[in-house]
Structure formats: structure tokens, C-alpha cells
A = this chain, B = another copy of it.
Amino acid sequence: MADRSLIFPADEYRRRVGALQRELGHAGLDALLLTTAPDIFYVTGFLTRFWESPARPWFVVVPAAGDPVAVIPTIGTTLMGRTWVDDIRSWDAPDLVDDGVSLLADTLIEIVPARGAIGVPMGPETHVRMPLADHARLTERIAPRRFADATAVVQRVREVKSEAEIEKIRATCRIADTAFACVPEFARPGGSLVEVFRDFQIALLKAGADWVSYVAGGAGPGGYGDVISPADDRALRAGDVLMLDTGAVRDGYFCDFDRNFAVGKATEPARRAHAALDAATDAALNAIRPGMTARDMHRILTGAMHAEGVTPAPGRLGHGLGLSLTEWPSLTPKDGTVLREGMVLALEPGVEIGPGQIMVHEENLVLRAGGAELLSSRAPAELPELAG
């Protein structure tokens, strides 16, 4: 489309607001206050990398009925004005005396009855993106109105992706597929991980990523130590296992999957680990159905890895994704979130190969009525070998 700042037709956003309003109704809440980039993008289509600046808070209020109201710094009014949101109130931020608190309080007082409750996501995987002292001031200003937890309101709506959203995530996954296919061109023994990360990011951009919000990885003899480190200057050597993981972004939607490579000829333990991860992924892809829970998938993945004779790595074995690199639910023993049709998930089983050596494999899928539909192109069953 000519103006990519809107991303979707207004109807998509109206549908989302309607769904949020139904959940607000069920929860007995009179409005929803949103402060983070993904929540505000979800409701409005307001997409900017300017969130990288922590200087200014941004607010969107979704009333129990009617259209959302944006209460934002003046610097964002032009861009917000291109979205479907009509009611845009702004102040000249940053303002050391009153950084939007009065404007937001007045808006909430206008929208919410005096004994009403305003939902704010305050549970797991959330944070309130505004100064804590201003949140306390706001709480006083709006009394007797009060804030209440609205984590479930947002999560139950956002976690089920529309077909339009699924197409966006699929497109971003294709971009990562294309970039991963280029890895053998630039990852070679003697080259450093710094260079590999740089070339991988360039490959993602050339394949169509708008930007690359996340690249991590690791390389080490027979396995790597963790999956969140930035690149170091160590040269790749034959016998290493190299992993690259990315959250590229296109039209505001993330992919999140990784690929493993043997540098030179794969060692037997690395081949076995990769085969076990492939088998566990198969087991999960074949088993997953709407109505199962996040913890069911943890059990299936763990069980499949044990059946393969390998030791699962600690930590969660998958998660949601879409408007963020990671979203709820978490595939852990404690997460009873019910999996529903339209959820987009990363399956991320990991195994311990040796002390301080792990291998993690990741695929992205959308859950359909009949089971998993892959969004990433499935990794080859055999650990690929980079020219030695």
C-alpha cells in the first residue's frame, strides 16, 4: 500500500477494539489504558521505532464503548493522524512539570464513571511504560476511579491472530528463511561471529526486513553456552556448532526462529542433538491441537527429548510471538494457558550436549483447527554443514 504507516485497513483495528471491548465487558472494566509499543500498535496501527527513546510516555485509552483516544506527545501527532484514530490529544513532551498526567487524568475522568475501573495490563510479561511516580500521581488524580488488572483482557484478544496478521508473520518468516539460506555464503571457519552477525543482519534487510530488532546466537566446539549473547570476536573453527536466531520485523510483525550449523564436518554428539531436536519438534507439530495447554506442549517436547535419550535444556520450550519478539503463553510446566486456533507460537526445544554446551532449535507455527501449520520453512532434519 502507498502509506505503510497504517499497515491494515481500519476495519482490522475496529474488530480488535470490539474484541477488547467484549473482554472489558466480561471483566467489568470501564476502559483500558495502554502504554506499550505493541499494545498501542495493535489498537491504532501507530508504528514507529521512536519507542527506542525512553524520554516520553504514550497513552491510548480504549473505552468500554466507542473509539480509542490517543493521549500522546506532540511529536507523534502527525504519524498518529495517519492512523484510523480520530481523537488525538497531545502535550509538548517531555514536560518536567506535568508530562501528560493531567491530560490523561482528564481524559480518563471524562470517559470513566466516578466509581469505574480502568484496566491496565499489570501481570506476567507486562510493564507499565510511564514513570512510576507519574502512575502514582495519576492514581490519585482519577480517584475514586481505580486501576485494575487487565492482563487477561489484552492477552486473550491479542494472542489469537487474524488472517491478516498471520500473513504478516508468514511474510517475516519468509524473510528470515531467505536470510538463513544465505548463511553458508558468509559463515566460514576463520570468520568471526561479529562478521557473521553483521552479514546476517544485512541478509535480513536485503530479503525485505524493515528492521532487525533481534539477532543473537552462539558458536563453540560441539555446542554453545547460551542463546542470548551478542557476538564476540572469536573465529569460527571446524567442529563448532553455530546458531543464529532472529527477530526480524516487517510491517511491525516479528518472526522468531533460529537455525543451527556445523562448521566443517558435524561431530557425532552435535548430529545426535540436532536429530533429537528435530524428532521433538516433529512430535510437537504432530500433537498440537486447539484445547491443549501450554504445559501440555512442554510435557510433549520434554517427553520426546527423553525418548531420544537426550537431556532437555532448562527453561521454557516455546512461546507466542507476533507484535513482540516473544509473547505469552510460555511452554513451561506452570503455564495452563489454553491453546486456541489462530495462535502463533514458537516451538523451541533445547538439549544439553555437555557441560556449558547446549543446542536450541526453533520453528514458528500458527495453530489451526486441525493442528500446526508451519510459518517458518522447516529446518533440515540433518544438521547442515558449512564448508570447512
Interface residues of A (CB under 8 A from B): 1-5, 36, 47-50, 52-55, 57, 74-76, 78-79, 92, 94-97, 99, 120, 122-133, 135, 149, 194, 197-198, 201-202, 205-206, 210-216, 225-234, 247, 314-316, 319, 324-326, 328, 330, 332, 334-335, 356
Contact = CB atoms under 8 A, between A and B. Distances in A.
Contact of A228 (B76, B227, B234): B76
B314 A74 contact: yes
Contacts of A149: 133
Given A94-B316, A211-B212, A79 B228 contact: yes
A319 to B, nearest CB: 7
A126 B131 contact: yes
Q: Which 9 pairs between the two chains have the least Cβ-Cβ distance? A: A122-B132, A50-B228, A78-B226, A53-B326, A122-B133, A52-B325, A52-B214, A78-B225, A94-B330
Most chain B C-beta atoms within 10 Å of own C-beta, residue among A36, A52, A129, A194: A52
A227 B225 CA distance: 41
Nearest to A133: B122
Contacts of A128: 127-128, 132
B198 A55 contact: no
A4 B314 contact: no
Contacts of A198: 205-206, 210
| Copies of this chain, whole number | 2
A291 B320 CA distance: 50
Contacts of A328: 55
B314 A54 contact: no
B96 A335 contact: yes
Contacts of A213: 49, 52
Given A314-B92, A335-B96, A53 B124 contact: no
Contacts of A326: 53-55
Contact of A54 (B95, B126, B201, B226): B126
Given A78-B356, A334-B97, A325 B53 contact: yes
Contacts of A216: 48-50
A132 B2 CA distance: 39
A123 B335 CA distance: 34
A211 B48 CA distance: 17
A143 to B, nearest CB: 17
Contacts of A314: 74, 92
A82 B231 CA distance: 13
A191 to B, nearest CB: 15
A226 B94 contact: no
Given A5-B232, A55-B328, A128-B132, 19 more contacts: A1-B233, A2-B232, A4-B231, A36-B54, A55-B125, A79-B229, A94-B125, A95-B334, A96-B124, A97-B334, A123-B131, A125-B131, A126-B131, A127-B130, A128-B128, A198-B205, A202-B206, A211-B215, A212-B212
Contacts of A47: 230
Contacts of A49: 213-216, 228, 230
Nearest to A38: B54
Nearest to A328: B55
Nearest to A135: B132
Contact of A324 (B54, B123, B210, B247): B54
